Amino acid sequence: MTVLNSLLGFWHKHAPGSGAHAKARPAGGRPLPAGASKSGPTGAVPALPELLLAAHPLAQALLDGPHSRKRAGDGEEFWQFRPYQPLEPASAIDWRQSARSPNPEILWVREHEQKTPRTLLIWIDPSPSMRWAPDNSGGTRKVVPAKSEAALTAALALGEAALKAGERVGVAGRPRLYMGPQAFGALAAALKESLAEDRPPLPPLATVPPHAQLLLVSDFLWPEKSMEKIFSACASRPGRTALLCVLDPAERELPYQGQVRFTTPESDQTLTLPAVESLRENYRTELEGHLARLRSLQGPRSRFALHWTDTSLLPPLMKLHAWLGKRNAAGDARP
């Protein structure tokens, strides 16, 4: 195995006997002298009020965007007109709207917003390595959040948007479901608490109802077999699954010089590499291959989005919000 594969493989490798996936995390942002090592700093998750303030404008942008989570149904609130489809009953036609149509060959159906709420369950990777944060002590450099902070902010934004759309939202593995905008604070507290619990490093899919929608937020630097197992299970679920991959820019750039010893907060393993800068180009190629592999594993019932913590959260959230808001051909009324 090449040194390059050793580095990327180390990020995917199980810690011996631990049952948890170990991920090498580079140190800080400064080059280290030959033979030196430094554990990456761990970022504390901000206080709940700060997280709510960060998530709220994102949730509002999702609700104000082009992809509303409204769904056709039998409620009383008007949603939209759409063309009449063959084999639909004639009673579905809105004759008054059809008479106004500039094209007399098109008949129109009045649709109402569906009132039956759907269920969205959220899982955030609790692995210690998700708390790894870059060195923000440079002063003039842009402050980059820890991956766990970005993951929690993203989950809260999608959760708040779902609550405001009248849907039920909960934490995967917990029985309680929350409804209505007034429940956002309780949902936020439950999500933050879930990160502090001693939980398995992989999502508890066995506890998720088949037709519930599911949001998984992680760096997805998992062992290959675990990754294939989880993605395959998500692809076969009747309910939609949104997969948000959160990565640090250091994992994109490998911005280190000289000899560096990489450590992981999940085990006592280390990996020392000389002239790390010489590996950079090939490392990026390997990482792109890994991300392409993740995208290839998504199925017809799942969607993958990538977020780098030094960029805006809104584009990947818009993508996943639109995906979760789509109506299944068979309807979304089941929990």
In the block, which residue shows the tokens 């800080």?
A: 28
Is 330 a member of any domain?
no
Can you give the pLDDT at residue 122?
Answer: 97
Can you give the pLDDT at residue 136?
Answer: 64
Q: Token pair of 235, please?
A: 């692809």
Q: Are residues 59 and 173 in the same domain?
A: yes
Q: Which residues contact 181 (CB under 8 A, 6 or more apart)?
A: 160, 163, 164
Contact 22, 264 (CB under 8 A): yes
Strand partners, 21: 14
**DSSP E strand boundaries for 182-259:** 213-218, 241-247
Q: Are residues 80 and 180 in the same domain?
A: no
Contact 9, 271 (CB under 8 A): no
* Half-sphere exposure at residue 110, Cβ-oriented, CA atoms within 13 angstroms: 10
Contact 30, 250 (CB under 8 A): no
Can you give the pLDDT at residue 271?
Answer: 82
Give the residue from 97, 65, 62 showing the smallest Cα distance to 83: 97
Can you give the pLDDT at residue 334?
Answer: 41
Can you give the pLDDT at residue 245?
Answer: 96
Under DSSP, the state recorded for 87 is T
Q: Are residues 246 and 197 in the same domain?
A: yes
Tens-digit pLDDT profile for the chain (335 aa)? 355 555 665 554 433 323 333 344 443 333 333 333 333 455 566 788 888 899 999 999 999 875 444 444 444 455 577 888 877 788 888 888 888 888 888 888 877 655 567 899 999 999 887 887 776 665 556 788 889 999 999 999 999 999 999 899 999 999 999 999 999 999 999 999 998 877 777 899 988 998 899 999 999 988 888 888 999 888 888 889 999 999 999 888 888 889 888 877 667 778 888 888 998 998 899 899 999 999 998 888 899 999 999 999 999 999 999 999 875 433 443 44
Q: How far, rounded to the nearest angstrom, does the alpha carbon of residue 178 sit from its chain's CA centroid?
A: 19
Is 186 a member of any domain?
yes
> Which sign does the torsion angle of CA 117, 175, 120, 211 carry?
negative
- Where in the sequence is the domain holding 8, given as residue range(s)? 3-70+117-325
Q: How many domains does the chain have?
A: 2
Domain limit, last residue, from 86, 113, 140: 113
Q: Are residues 199 and 79 in the same domain?
A: no
Domain limit, last residue, from 113, 128, 144: 113
pTM for this entry: 0.76
Q: Token pair of 2, please?
A: 């090449």
Q: Are residues 48 and 105 in the same domain?
A: no
Is 215 a member of any domain?
yes
Can you give the pLDDT at residue 105?
Answer: 83
